[in-house]
Amino acid sequence: MLSKVYKCKFLLVMLLVPFLATAQPAGWETTETLFTHVLSIPASVTPEIDGVPISTGDWVGVFYNDGGVLKCGGNVQYTEGVANAFSAFGNDPTTSEKDGFDPMESFLWRAHVGGDDFWCEAELDGPETFTVFGFTEVISLMGPTFSIAASADPTLICGSGADVTLTGTLLAGDPVDTWEWFDNGTSLGTGETFVVYVDKTTNFKVVATSGLLTAEAFVTVQVSNLSAGDDATLCAVPGLEIQLDPVVPTHLSLLWATNGTGTFDNAFIANAVYYPSEADLAGVELTLTVVTLECGELTESVTFDFQASPSINIIPDYDFVCFDENYDFTGKVEAENYDMIQWFTTNGGGTYTPNEIVLEPTYNPSPTVDLPQRYVILGVSASAIDPCEVADEDFMYLFFVEPTNVFAGDPAELCVTAETATYTFDNAVVEFDIWYPPDEATCPHFDIDITRVILWTSTGDGSFDDPAIAQPTYSFGPNDLENCGLITFTLTVHVEEACDQVVSVTSIFLQAEPSINIIPDSYTICEEECMNFEGLVEASNYSRIQWFTTNGGGKYDDENILEPEYCPSPTVDYPQQCITLGVAAEAINPCIVSAEDFMELCFQMLPVVVAGEDATVCSNELYTTTVSYTHLTLPTIYSV
């Protein structure tokens, strides 16, 4: 910013400039542009040539270097006793040729006196190089002298950098003994020409010596370098903001654009903030376009790739495992965008196999630490992939279930009677883990319970009143009671959440009562015959046969077989004409009541016939017999 004094002087000299313009010396022609730097020679300062003040009508001007050709960039025809001010014109970037000073280019002072040109040395108050809309006041101006100029090729680099040839030129004085180039006080090297790589706007100084004399000159190489910033991979955290940090030259306009769907807080400022959208997280390119006076439109892009944050999820929040089993995480863990996995437990003492750094390990509970607690908290951490730093964690509760105690009951044997209909399994036992459901004080995290499943099945054709209870009642089916025999009962019990099925088997053997039947209720045999029961007795479900008689005195050939032979007693049985024979079928355990049947056995005695006494009679006589008989019911036939 100009001081108040400079502002006043600037206004004064600008008022005088229009009245001082007249014909210029040859080679002193200038091209006026919109970019000016005012140079003022106060009334108190008189330029000198060889110690002699110049006069009204002489000329003072400044020159610039155009590829080794020095051209006038501004001048004034000197008037004694007043302030002499003029404008130095800057290069117009909209034209192809150089028609003025580049920004920060040194002023080469020259005086035209008596028809001759003299290079001069100026002492200045203010910028010593061209500055758009700048103001500099001359403190002294003397010549001729040992004077040099510095030039650069190129003086403008539109890009990130390039090699530049610096050249020193003797303007006045004896030959130069040495040339030395400097960058901000640091020596770069020596030589009338010097090549240096320039990647930022730099004001170079060259110092020349000639005998005891020293002269210096400046040249500025302007780098109009645009960088949108370095490509980067960022962590895609929620609410991500990207602070853009480009390198931007002096410009007329600036605009950020994106190939994504995110937004800028202000796309018209260099250090904008970009808010990537969800779609951008696949990768986004931001393009920065600036328009400069020197280089026109410049465009650079920066690419951002995104690394998603790690995520890991143990699918069940809680699960169950049997006391004597390990817990396998196969298919129960989801994870992505992670570097490493680390399993742990906050209160358990078990181990992970094959190790705790695989995604789906198996947890082996500690019988002494884990099981007494009835549950442990298992956790897993997924570490982030660079550049993300925050790991993700998840936890689950693993509950332990005691195996169910199951007993279907002792095998039973039943005697099937008319009253036999049902059987209740009173001595069956089903004991589930009594820790479940835990109360809120024991387990405040979840309202949990186990699912208890009981199922009775049988090989019979009967039915249960409720096959899902521990001690059901079984109603025998028709086939059960008719065919009897062994019925097998299977009690299957399990907890749906954990532990294998527990199966217990029992049986009921149904024994039918004995039955026996002597087919004929009454039977007659001839005297001296025995009663053979072959084919005349039916019997079933007996363990033993016992024949007997209630009033007879005969004997059985074997009283313990089903079809014996009974031989009556002539002295006991015959006189009674009929006797009663019985048979008992002894029951099979568990039946205890025997079956009996009876029949009447009658006897047909052999007939006895007496024809009478022998007699002798004449052949023509009639003889009457006297016949007697017993046990004879048929007609009597006589024969001679």
Q: What angle do CA 275, 276, 280 make, to 5 degrees?
A: 170
Q: Dihedral angle at the C-alpha atoms of 49, 54, 60, 65, nearest 10 degrees?
A: -10
Q: Is 386 helix (H, G, I), strand (E, B) or coil?
A: coil
Residue environment code for 195-226, b if the CB has 16+ CB neighbours within 10 A, otherwise e: ebebeebbbbbbbbebeeeebbbbbbbbbbbb
Q: Which of 402, 397, 403 is nearest to 348 (CA)?
A: 397
Q: Pick the residue with more confidence: 128 or 330?
A: 330
**Phi, psi (deg, nearest 5) at residue 478:** -60, -45
Q: How far apart are CA 157 and CA 160, in angstroms?
A: 8
Question: For residues 278 and 75, is the Cβ–Cβ distance under 8 A?
Answer: no
Task: Give the C-alpha separation, 534 to 527, whole Å.
Answer: 19
How far is residue 208 from each of residues 167, 215, 219, 230, measured CA to CA in Å? 12, 5, 14, 41
In percent, the amount of the chain with pLDDT more than 90 equals 76
48: β partners: 53, 142
Q: Judging by DSSP bridges, how do beta strands 522-526 and 595-604 pair with one another?
A: parallel
Per-residue confidence band for 3, with pLDDT thresholds at 50, 70 and 90: very low
pLDDT at 632: 58
Alpha carbon distance 566, 573 (integer Å): 11
Q: Give the model's confidence band at 146: pLDDT under 50 very low, under 70 low, under 90 confident, else very high.
A: confident
Tell me the pLDDT band of 7, cut-offs 50, 70 and 90: very low
Q: Say yes or no: domain 232-308 is CATH 1.10.760.10.
A: no
Provide the whole-model pTM.
Answer: 0.62
Residue range 291-301: mean pLDDT, rounded: 89
Predicted confidence (pLDDT) per residue in 531-562, tens digit: 999 999 999 999 999 999 999 999 999 999 99
> At CA 29, angle to CA 24 and CA 35, rounded to 5?
120
| Per-residue model confidence (pLDDT) at position 103 | 84
Domain coordinates of the chain in residue numbers? 4-223, 232-308, 311-401, 405-509, 515-604
Residue 16 has what pLDDT?
42
Query: How would CATH label the architecture of 4-223?
Result: Sandwich (2.60)
For residue 67, the model assigns a pLDDT of 80
Q: Which residue has the higher pLDDT, 28 or 296?
A: 28
Q: Is the pLDDT of residue 138 over 90?
A: yes
Can you give the pLDDT at residue 635?
Answer: 56
pLDDT at 9: 41
Is the Cβ–Cβ distance between 355 and 363 less than 8 Å? no
Pairwise CA distance, residues 448 & 469, whole Å: 22
Q: Would the pLDDT of 633 be above 80?
A: no
The arithmetic mean of pLDDT across residues 300-314, rounded, is 96
| pLDDT recorded at residue 106 | 87
Under the banding of pLDDT at 50, 70 and 90, the label for residue 4 is very low
Better-predicted residue by pLDDT, 638 or 153: 153
The yes-or-no verdict on residue 222 having pLDDT over 90 is no
**CB burial class (10 A; 0-12, 13-18, 19+) of residue 602?**
middle
Q: For 404-432, what is the mean pLDDT? A: 96
317 within 8 A of 396, measured Cβ to Cβ = yes
Question: pLDDT tens across 364-387, in order?
Answer: 999 999 999 999 999 999 999 999
Contact 517, 538 (CB under 8 A): yes
pLDDT, residue 276, reads: 97
Residue 20 has pLDDT above 60, yes or no: no
CA 126, 129, 132, 137 torsion-angle sign = positive
Q: Residues 80, 56: contact at Cβ < 8 Å? A: yes
Q: What is the mean pLDDT of the chain?
A: 91
Nearest to 601 by CA among 532, 539, 537: 532
Residue 636 has a pLDDT of 56
**In the predicted model, is pLDDT for residue 131 greater than 60?**
yes
**pLDDT, mean of residues 424-443:** 94
Residue holding tokens 């299957």?
Answer: 492
Instruction: Tell me the pLDDT tens digit for each residue of 246-266.
Output: 999 888 999 999 999 999 999
Which residue shows structure tokens 């130095």?
Answer: 88
Q: Which residues contact 427 (CB under 8 A, 6 or more apart)?
A: 407, 409, 410
Please give the pLDDT value at position 296.
Answer: 87
Confidence of residue 631 (pLDDT cuts 50, 70, 90): low
Model confidence band, residue 18 (pLDDT cutoffs 50, 70, 90): very low
pLDDT at 10: 40
Q: In this structure, how many other beta carbons lie within 10 angstroms of the beta carbon of residue 370? A: 22
Confidence class for position 15, pLDDT limits 50, 70, 90: very low
What does the pLDDT average to over 158-170?
A: 92
Those residues whose C-beta lies under 8 Å from the C-beta of residue 18, and which sit 6 or more positions away, are none
DSSP for 52-95, written as a single string: EE--TT-EEEEEEEETTEEEEEEEEE--TTS-EEEEEEBP-TTS
Mean pLDDT lowest for which of 103-107, 308-312, 373-377, 565-569?
A: 103-107
Cβ proximity of 516 and 565 under 8 Å: no
CA 520: distance to chain centroid? 89
Alpha-carbon gap, residue 519 to 534, rounded angstroms? 11
Within 8 A by CB and 6+ apart from 422, the residues are 473, 474, 475, 476
Residue given tokens 């700048």 in the structure block: 134
Q: Report the amino acid identity of residue 208.
A: A
Cα separation of 325 and 402, whole Å?
Answer: 10
Q: Is the pLDDT of residue 328 over 80?
A: yes
- The Cα–Cα gap between 100 and 213 comes to 30
Q: How confident is the model at residue 630 (pLDDT cuts 50, 70, 90)?
A: low
Going by CATH, does the domain composed of 405-509 fall within 2.60.40? yes
Write out the two tokens for 226: 């645009």
Residue pair 194/166 in contact by the 8 Å Cβ criterion: yes
**Predicted pLDDT of residue 343:** 98
Give the DSSP per-residue string, 521-575: SEEEEETT--EE-TTSEEEESEEEEEEEESS---EES-TTSSS-EEE--TTTTGG
Which residues sit opposite 340 in a β-bridge? none
> Tokens 């890009």 — which residue?
159
| Residue 463: other Cβ atoms inside 10 A | 13
Backbone angles phi, psi at 82, to 5 degrees: -130, 165
First and final C-alpha spacing in the chain: 189
pLDDT above 60 (res 475) = yes
Fold of 311-401: Immunoglobulin-like (2.60.40)
Reply yes or no on domain 515-604 having CATH 3.40.50.1820.
no
pLDDT of residue 8: 40
Do domains 4-223 and 405-509 share one topology? The answer is yes
Task: Report the candidate in 297, 252, 304, 249 with the shortest Cα–Cα distance to residue 274.
Answer: 304
User: How big is the chain, counted in residues?
Assistant: 640
State mean pLDDT over 304-312: 96
Spatial neighbors of 217 by CB under 8 A, at least 6 apart, are: 106, 108, 148, 149, 150, 168, 205, 206, 208
Q: In the chain, helix, strand, coil percent, each to 5?
A: 5, 50, 45
Residue at token pair 């019985």: 582
Low-confidence winner among 154-168, 539-553, 560-574, 587-601 (lowest mean pLDDT): 154-168
